[in-house]
């Protein structure tokens, strides 16, 4: 499968959000990554339902919603109604992960789990068959523009082996500090989806940057 690019709107200009989403529509991006932060699970607050709805109104690409929030099970249906195609919860925020994944699937959305940098991929061994997506955090969640954590490569390889062994169709997404330099090695290690926020939106020509990330072969 060719890899997917999921630019994160966290790094967009919120004063002209519709324009930035239209740029993504017209680019070779595959998904639109939407980062939700609650100021509790992570030490930052991003945005909520009205903004997701506003993105969905303009977007022609699937919304990949990454919930960095406590008790995400309270809001799954609302995020689905706001237009989420993929809904990912954090392993660290879900004492009843299996139940929460079933709840996501019951809405018709695709179900994902995100792992913090310190969380081993082994914790997913017993739910891997139920997953559509795993987000491997390659920075500590909460902020865009952070430095990529090198240990992520090893986790991608371990997760890839687990997925192949279980014959799961789950995709591996890498989120945080992704750029043109590390993207080839991430893809080589087994990543299927690359999230890129600041690297895309802070570049001189975001459409071209997305194109370049999409063109990478290894």
Feature table: binding site for a divalent metal cation? 33, 35, 66, 175
Q: Three-class SS of residue 131?
A: coil
Q: How far apart are the first and last CA of the chain?
A: 13
| Under rule CB under 6 A, residue 83 binds ligand DX5 | no
175 tagged catalytic: yes
Cβ–Cβ under 8 Å, residues 62 and 161: no
Residue 190 near which of Zn ion, ligand DX5, none (CB within 5-8 Å, type-dependent): none
Q: Which residues, numbered 142-171, are part of the site for ligand DX5 (CB under 6 A)? A: 142-146
CA pair distance 196, 176, nearest whole angstrom: 7
Closest residue to Zn ion: CB criterion: 66
Residues counted in the chain = 218
Select 107 or 140, whichever has its Cβ closest to ligand DX5.
Answer: 140
Least distance between Zn ion and beta carbon 154 (Å)? 20
CA dist list (Å): 112 to 147, 182, 214 = 24, 23, 22
Site string for Zn ion, 153-192 (x = CB under 5 A): ----------------------x-----------------
- Cα 146 to the center of its chain, rounded Å: 15
Pairing of strands 32-37, 84-90: unpaired
Least distance between ligand DX5 and beta carbon 146 (Å)? 6
For 188, list phi and psi in degrees, rounded to 5: -65, -35
Catalytic residue among 35, 38, 64, 192: 35
Among 27, 152, 198, 209, binds ligand DX5 (CB under 6 A): 198
CA pair distance 84, 52, nearest whole angstrom: 8
Among 66, 90, 110, 155, binds Zn ion (CB under 5 A): 66
> 181: phi > 0 → left, psi -120 to 50 → alpha, else beta; which?
alpha
Of 8-16, 95-103, 120-128, 210-218, the window that binds ligand DX5 (rule: CB under 6 A) is 8-16
Select 34 or 104, whichever has its Cβ closest to ligand DX5.
Answer: 34
Task: Give the residue among 184, 165, 108, 174 at the shortest CA–CA distance from 136.
Answer: 174
Residue 197 near which of ligand DX5, Zn ion, none (CB within 5-8 Å, type-dependent): ligand DX5
Active site positions, annotated:
35, 175
Residues of this chain that bind ligand DX5 (CB under 6 A): 8, 10-11, 33, 35, 66, 139, 141-146, 175-178, 195-199
């Amino acid at each position: 499968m060719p890899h997917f690019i999921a630019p994160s709107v966290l790094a967009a200009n919120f004063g002209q959000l519709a324009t930035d989403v239209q740029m993504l529509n017209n680019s070779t991006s595959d998904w639109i990554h939407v980062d939700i932060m609650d100021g509790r699970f992570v030490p930052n607050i991003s945005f909520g339902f009205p903004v997701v709805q506003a993105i969905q109104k303009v977007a022609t690409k699937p919304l990949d919603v990454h919930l960095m929030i406590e008790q995400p099970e309270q809001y799954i249906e609302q995020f689905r109604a706001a237009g989420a195609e993929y809904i990912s919860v954090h392993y660290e925020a879900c004492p009843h992960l299996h139940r929460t994944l079933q709840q996501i699937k019951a809405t018709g959305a695709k179900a994902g789990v995100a792992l913090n940098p310190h969380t081993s991929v082994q914790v997913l061994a017993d739910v891997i068959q139920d997953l559509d997506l795993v987000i491997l955090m390659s920075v500590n969640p909460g902020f865009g523009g952070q430095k990529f954590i090198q240990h992520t490569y090893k986790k991608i390889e371990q997760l890839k082996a687990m997925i192949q062994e279980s014959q799961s169709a789950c995709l591996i997404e890498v989120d945080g500090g992704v750029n043109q330099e590390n993207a080839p090695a991430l893809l080589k290690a087994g990543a299927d989806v690359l999230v890129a926020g600041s690297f895309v939106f802070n570049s001189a020509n975001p459409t071209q940057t997305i194109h370049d990330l999409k063109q990478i072969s290894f």
